[in-house]
Structure 1
Amino acid sequence: MQWRGRRGSRNVEDRRGMGVTGAGGIGIVGVLLVLAVGYFLGIDISPIMGSMEQGSQTTEQRELTPEEQEVGQFMSVVLADTEEVWGKVLPEQAGVEYVSPQMVMFSGQAQTGCGGASSAMGPFYCPNDQKLYLDTAFFDTMQQRMGAGGDFAFAYVVAHEVGHHVQNLLGILGQTMQIRQQSSQADANYISVLTELQADCFAGIWARQANEQFGTIEDGDVEEAINAANAVGDDTLMQNAGQAVRPDKFTHGSSQDRMTWFKRGFTSGQLAQCNTFKEVGL
């Protein structure tokens, strides 16, 4: 992905220099809240992260490493690209003005408008404060434990969470949350899957439009994003955690479905082609 020397977003808050490692200090109630948030808004990687450390840890100021600084610059450029793309696509295709979200980068844990956040749950979007939250160490997890490395794979993760913000602006996210609260567990899981697959489709739209506007895609980039979609499928995460694959427990969609909907958005570039809810009449 060609990103160096390009505009970065001003909507970035970097808390990593204030962070701690692990989930210490959150406590069991905080951990449960974190997993509840990740359950329907983010990429819940807790099945492959093992047990989360608990107990009190002190927060210390620290200097960011050169690698962390570069990741921060990259995330800023990716977020700027989403601003450019959705600032054009959303008014043209939906008649809705795009309001950019903020991105918060943290280390270990963070306080959010949706409660406490831990790195164990992966990146997520909080509709209460319209911010994306991610511990950039997640990208090491993607590369080393999921086999889904590459800058465009990491960009896909951000684009997916921005997809949730687009859903929020369109009123979709609030509607699905309300339906989930009134549904059985199985139906709530299914609505969650449809929500996540639509965010994947929106990420595909971003990839197509970003390439058309900025020419950022290089050979192998789209394959990196598709591989990332495959790596965060519920069935793949369950298998990697040594668990039986239970489709009734899916909350984000199978690897195949996640790849399919990303490619559908990338191929069409159209919001109308991302209606995952059509078959259930929502």
Structure 2
Amino acid sequence: MQWFGKGSEDVEDRRSGGGGKTILGGGIGIIVVVLGLIFGKDLTGLVGQLPVEGAGQQTEAKTGVPEDAEGRFVANVLQSTREVWEQEFQKMNQTYENPKLVLFRDGVQTTCGYAQSSVGPFYCPGDHKVYIDLSFYDDLKNRFGAAGDFAQAYVIAHEVGHHVQNLLGISEKLDQARGQVSEKEYNRLSVKLELQADFFAGLWAHNAQNLKDFKLDEGDIEEALTAANAIGDDKLQKQATGEVQPDSFTHGTSAQRMYWFKKGFETGDIKQGDTFNSSNL
């Protein structure tokens, strides 16, 4: 992929220090995907909203386009998601609010609680921010065999997809179900939420092709599909334990993740991404 613009100013760079004190409030607690708790790595990282009783010591952040190449790349991907989703929200007669993207190392204090790098990239609905420790990309390449800049862009677009779900009120489906349904049913709803975020990432890729400051290269979509395949629940469980337990899936199988990303890319139509009412699950 190629980008030619300056990049989004909505990047907070907290990589110069630690993540602050660990202060967690009461209530529902920080939600990390089950696979992350079991295997020590959440590969797409959805963190649920947590009321915080006190503010932790925050690392001073530099806001704007980072100076290093990795940071500029992230800023350009974020800018492309903004341009795509602004257009999509205009079609729905709504106004898009761009999320902030926070770069950090090791751990970070958020409105959703304290998170370590081991949870992977995640979106916090409480502060409308995407969080990522860029060392995750090393894992994506070396541990899971999903190399390439577009695989990295897919990760960001997926988390921005969670932000879109939050703005549209879709995430409330999962919030409302918490404590009201069985663990099996809750996991099923989580899968639907995650697959829709994959669809939204595909929709972004479809529309990003038409942006003046962004260009897809041959093989880019294959990079994203390789990443989606690598982080399917079935593949991760098989690698970690040698067994697959479908009732514990929270993100979807490799085949499902590839299917929904590809569907988003091929259609570019947000109306085709209702995973909650789809029979293809």
Which sections of structure 2, spanning at least 5 residues, go unmatched? Answer: 43-57, 61-65
- Are the aligned partners of 1:114 and 1:126 in contact in 2 as well (CA < 8 Å)? yes
Residue 213 (structure 1) shift: 2.0
- Are the aligned partners of 1:103 and 1:133 in contact in 2 as well (CA < 8 Å)? yes
- Are the aligned partners of 2:14 and 2:59 in contact in 1 as well (CA < 8 Å)? no
Residue 7 (structure 1) shift: 2.3
User: Which residue, out of 118, 121, 126, partners 2:119?
Assistant: 121
Counterpart of 1:70 in structure 2 is 69
Residue 37 (structure 1) shift: 2.5
Q: What's the TM-score, normalizing by structure 1?
A: 0.83
User: Which residue, out of 189, 192, 195, partners 2:190?
Assistant: 192
Amino acid at match of 2:74: M
Counterpart of 1:227 in structure 2 is 226
Residue 232 (structure 1) shift: 1.1
User: Matches of 1:26 and 1:237 in 2, distance apart?
Assistant: 29
2:238 is equivalent to residue 246 of structure 1: no
SS at structure 2 position matched to 1:38? coil
Residue 243 (structure 1) shift: 4.1
Deviates more, 1:7-16 or 1:212-221: 212-221
Counterpart of 1:277 in structure 2 is 276
Residue 48 (structure 1) shift: 5.8
Counterpart of 2:209 in structure 1 is 211
Counterpart of 1:105 in structure 2 is 103
Residue 183 (structure 1) shift: 1.1
SS at structure 2 position matched to 1:229? helix
SS at structure 1 position matched to 2:130? strand
SS at structure 2 position matched to 1:78? helix
Counterpart of 1:180 in structure 2 is 178
Residue 25 (structure 1) shift: 7.6
Distance 1:19-1:46 versus aligned 2 partners, 3 A rule: farther
Distance 1:16-1:178 versus aligned 2 partners, 3 A rule: same
Residue 246 (structure 1) shift: 0.5
Matched ranges for 1:123-202 at <5 A:
123-202=121-200
Residue 242 (structure 1) shift: 2.8
Alignment length, in residue pairs? 256
Amino acid at match of 2:174: T
Residue 168 (structure 1) shift: 0.6
Distance 1:39-1:159 versus aligned 2 partners, 3 A rule: same
User: Matches of 1:137 and 1:270 in 2, distance apart?
Assistant: 33
Residue 239 (structure 1) shift: 1.8
User: Matches of 1:12 and 1:206 in 2, distance apart?
Assistant: 19
Spell out, residue by residue over 1:238-279, the C-alpha distance to the aligned partner (whole angstroms, 9 max, x if none). Answer: 122234110000000001000000000001001100000114
Q: What's the TM-score, normalizing by structure 2?
A: 0.84
Distance 1:114-1:203 versus aligned 2 partners, 3 A rule: same
Amino acid at match of 1:69: D
Residue 193 (structure 1) shift: 0.2
Residue 26 (structure 1) shift: 5.4
2:266 is equivalent to residue 260 of structure 1: no
2:29 is equivalent to residue 39 of structure 1: no
- Are the aligned partners of 1:180 and 1:187 in contact in 2 as well (CA < 8 Å)? no
Distance 1:206-1:241 versus aligned 2 partners, 3 A rule: same
Residue 175 (structure 1) shift: 2.6
- Are the aligned partners of 1:38 and 1:124 in contact in 2 as well (CA < 8 Å)? no
SS at structure 2 position matched to 1:104? strand
User: Matches of 1:2 and 1:219 in 2, distance apart?
Assistant: 11
Residue 39 (structure 1) shift: 1.7
Counterpart of 1:56 in structure 2 is none
User: Matches of 2:93 and 2:80 in 1, distance apart?
Assistant: 20
- Are the aligned partners of 1:113 and 1:128 in contact in 2 as well (CA < 8 Å)? yes
- Are the aligned partners of 2:41 and 2:120 in contact in 1 as well (CA < 8 Å)? no
Distance 1:181-1:279 versus aligned 2 partners, 3 A rule: farther
User: Matches of 2:220 and 2:126 in 1, distance apart?
Assistant: 32
Spell out, residue by residue over 1:23-46, the C-alpha distance to the aligned partner (whole angstroms, 9 max, x if none). Answer: x9859x89xx99x53328xx9486
- Are the aligned partners of 1:48 and 1:237 in contact in 2 as well (CA < 8 Å)? no
Q: Which structure: greater helix fraction?
A: 1
Residue 236 (structure 1) shift: 1.4
